[in-house]
């Protein structure tokens, strides 16, 4: 992958930016190319402009062009397309509004940014309110659709999401959070896709000089109206704490409980994880020791695919600062899986880690 990106600051609070990136698979890296694995190549280039007339307002836009070769060994021409995005934001001390619109063409591919989905038209918006110093309200809305070419052989998918959360701070260094989300997905025709996910959450954080404690609860309800997938109800409880025992030792401890009920067949999946870690300065600024451990118990009473297993992970490392710019680390780890229903599926892996880090 080769790339460059530049920004140019112009008078009038204008900024121009440009970029170019090229990604190529080495054809020789595929010793035996298969029907679904071919050496690919991609070129993406474009630019944008941003205008910030004052500290409160900003508007920007970007445009990109791509040329994608799904198989470099083929003589077929590269598939070309474009993508664009425009956004604006207005920020005040007590509130802010943001919004954006983007369109990625059906054949737009940027291998340097694999998280960018092609064939998508998206709208996003946000509103933040802080009526008083001790409370903050955040609201968001997003929507997208695909199949921009309106290909009758493809299912057009639509998705809308809304979210709202509140954070309240108290003088006792206590923080309370509450949130709600709703995600709605449907296809055209509706018989191919029609579901929604509704969630709510609440959390409590208590801070003090030598640590803090976090408690949270989340509930998620997934409903499939096509009956293609089973509707699920999930409850998640989390509890964690961190402590400092003087300047040389700190530790964390946490537990997470997740229960998912299949509302079609009545089965239940239960997963409970207990984890902890510590960091000790045995010799300040010279020798430190850190370790972590976690144990997860999982049980599923689904008659078609029952499960009862335990997964364990241990890790211990020591770091010696040999010089101001050189750190040497050595340690070991262990991961073990125990399947109580099928003991033959159990496994244990032990290993040693050695690292050197040099900074300059």
pLDDT tens-digit map of 205-234: 999 999 999 999 999 999 999 888 899 999
- Give CB contacts under 8 A, 24+ apart, made by 153-160: 155/187, 155/188, 155/189, 155/192, 155/193, 156/187, 156/188, 157/185, 157/186, 157/187, 157/188, 157/193, 158/185, 158/186, 158/187, 158/188, 159/183, 159/184, 159/185, 160/184
Model pLDDT, residue 264: 86
Model pLDDT, residue 303: 87
Each residue of 296-324: pLDDT tens digit?
Answer: 999 999 988 899 999 999 999 999 999 98
Q: Using 50, 70 and 90 to split pLDDT, how confident is the model at 191?
A: confident
Asked whether residue 32 carries a pLDDT value surpassing 70, the answer given is no
Asked whether residue 172 carries a pLDDT value surpassing 80, the answer given is yes
Asked whether residue 34 carries a pLDDT value surpassing 70, the answer given is no
Considering the domain delimited by 88-109+121-358, tell me its CATH architecture: Beta Barrel (2.40)
Closest CA to 6 of 22, 14, 17: 17
- Please answer whether residues 116 and 144 qualify as being in contact, where contact means their C-beta atoms are separated by less than 8 angstroms: no
Which residues pair with residue 283 across a beta bridge?
Answer: 287
Instruction: Measure the CA–CA gap between 145 and 351, rounded to whole angstroms.
Output: 47
Model pLDDT, residue 146: 94
Q: Using 50, 70 and 90 to split pLDDT, how confident is the model at 139?
A: very high
Which residues pair with residue 163 across a beta bridge?
Answer: 140, 181
Tell me the pLDDT of the chain averaged across its residues: 94
Instruction: Measure the CA–CA gap between 13 and 2, rounded to whole angstroms.
Output: 30
Model pLDDT, residue 165: 97
Cα-to-chain-centroid distance, residue 15: 30
Q: Using 50, 70 and 90 to split pLDDT, how confident is the model at 57?
A: very high
End-to-end CA distance of the chain: 25
Quote the percentage of the chain above a pLDDT of 90. Answer: 83
Each residue of 228-255: pLDDT tens digit?
Answer: 889 999 999 999 999 999 999 999 999 9
Model pLDDT, residue 133: 94
Name the one residue in this structure whose structure tokens are 């998918």: 157
- Report pTM: 0.81
Asked whether residue 33 carries a pLDDT value surpassing 70, the answer given is no
Asked whether residue 73 carries a pLDDT value surpassing 90, the answer given is no
Q: Using 50, 70 and 90 to split pLDDT, how confident is the model at 35?
A: low
Model pLDDT, residue 187: 92
Each residue of 248-291: pLDDT tens digit?
Answer: 999 999 999 999 999 888 999 999 999 999 999 999 889 999 99
Mean pLDDT over 17-39 rounds to: 82
Model pLDDT, residue 265: 86
Domain ranges across the chain = 1-87+110-118, 88-109+121-358
Each residue of 97-133: pLDDT tens digit?
Answer: 999 999 999 999 999 998 899 999 999 999 999 999 9
Q: How far is CA 309 from CA 165, 254, 304, in A?
A: 36, 20, 16
């Amino acid at each position: 992958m080769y790339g460059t990106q530049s920004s140019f600051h112009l008078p009038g609070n204008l900024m121009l930016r440009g970029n170019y990136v090229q990604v190529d698979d080495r054809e020789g890296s595929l010793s035996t190319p298969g029907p679904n694995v071919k050496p690919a190549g991609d070129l993406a280039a474009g630019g944008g402009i941003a205008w910030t007339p004052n500290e409160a307002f900003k508007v920007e836009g970007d445009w990109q062009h791509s040329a994608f070769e799904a198989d470099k060994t083929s003589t077929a021409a590269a598939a070309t397309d474009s993508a664009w995005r425009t956004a604006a934001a207005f920020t005040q001390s007590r509130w802010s509004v943001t919004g954006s619109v983007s369109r990625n063409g059906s054949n737009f591919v940027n291998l340097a940014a694999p998280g960018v989905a092609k064939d998508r038209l998206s709208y996003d918006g946000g509103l933040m309110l802080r009526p008083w110093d001790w409370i903050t309200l955040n609201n968001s809305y997003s929507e997208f659709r695909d199949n921009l070419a309106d290909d009758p052989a493809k299912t057009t998918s639509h998705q809308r999401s809304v979210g709202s959360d509140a954070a309240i701070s108290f003088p006792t260094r206590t923080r309370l959070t509450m949130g709600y989300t709703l995600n709605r997905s449907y296809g055209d025709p509706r018989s191919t896709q029609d579901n929604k996910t509704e969630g709510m959450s609440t959390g409590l954080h208590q801070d003090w000089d030598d640590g803090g404690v976090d408690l949270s609860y989340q509930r998620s309800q997934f409903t499939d109206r096509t009956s293609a997938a089973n509707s699920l109800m999930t409850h998640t409880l989390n509890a964690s704490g961190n402590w400092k025992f003087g300047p040389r030792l700190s530790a964390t401890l946490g537990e997470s409980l997740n229960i998912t009920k299949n509302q079609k067949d009545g089965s239940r999946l239960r997963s409970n994880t207990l984890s902890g870690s510590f960091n000790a300065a045995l010799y300040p600024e010279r020798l430190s020791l850190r370790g972590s451990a976690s144990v997860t118990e999982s049980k599923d009473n689904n008659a078609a695919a029952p499960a009862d297993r335990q997964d364990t992970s241990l890790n211990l490392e020591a770091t010696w600062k040999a010089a101001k710019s050189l750190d040497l680390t050595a340690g070991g780890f262990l991961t073990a899986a125990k399947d109580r229903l099928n003991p033959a599926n159990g496994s244990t892996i032990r290993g040693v880690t050695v690292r050197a880090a040099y900074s300059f």
